[in-house]
Amino acid sequence: EDLLDFFRYFDDAESLSEVWMRGNWDFAHYILKPSVLPYLNNPYEKRVLEIGYGGGRLLQAACRYFGSGVGVDVHGNASLVREAIEYLDVSNFELFQTDGLSMPMDDSSIDFAYSFIVLQHLPTLQSLRAVLQELRRVIRPDGIGILYFGYLRSGLFKRTRFEEAIRSKTPDIRDVTLRLTMPFARK
């Protein structure tokens, strides 16, 4: 498998350079929102967690702000992602392959956690609850989390495709299988 093809699975960039540039932009624009910044005193002393690190494009950006980073994901390509991020002179991170529901960190060991358009790919509401329980366990009592849900505008996703995805025993991980209303997601 071509390296760029692997990273294009997570972002349709034209080059690896663009993958990283878009990751920096997405982290700065969607995760480090002005409303969050006052709660992140001395981020260079804090530990950040990305739920669903994918190709590592946001995690490499996060590690430039934070003392250390942790990424969890279901795919088995951690060594490929590690090598790519380390090529960018970023080494203050750990990557873990998980079942998508558990997190291999100690209780209260994370200062800041985020997930960017990942949680809508979970198969059930029960799986979302499991992830949120794990997040509550690993994040410090004074920690903060940004859970960015993607949502479907009408016309972007045909109902028949959604029904096929949820009936399939092995849906593509990129399929949106958990559809939540925004008020429910906020709650």
DSSP readout, 27-47? Answer: IIIIIS-TTTGGG-SSGGGSE
Q: Are 138 and 80 in contact (CB under 8 A)?
A: no
Average pLDDT over residues 119-128: 81
φ and ψ at residue 145, rounded to 5 degrees: -135, 145
Q: Which of 96, 97, 85, 94 is nearest to 24 (CA)?
A: 85
Residues of the chain with pLDDT > 70: what percent?
Answer: 80
What is the per-residue pLDDT across 75-119, written as a single tens digit (0 to 9) for each?
Answer: 899 999 999 999 999 999 999 999 988 999 999 999 999 999 888
Least confident among 2-6, 82-86, 182-186 = 182-186
pLDDT score, position 82: 96
Q: Which of the four pLDDT bands, split at 50, 70 and 90, describes residue 160?
A: very low
Residues of the chain with pLDDT > 90: what percent?
Answer: 54
pLDDT at 169 over 60: no
Q: Which of the four pLDDT bands, split at 50, 70 and 90, describes residue 167?
A: very low
**Better pLDDT: 81 or 127:** 81
The mean pLDDT value of the chain amounts to 83
Least confident among 19-33, 53-67, 73-87, 118-132 = 118-132
Reported as type and span, the H/E element at residue 51 is: strand 47-51
- pTM, two decimals, is 0.82
Least confident among 10-14, 27-31, 112-116 = 10-14
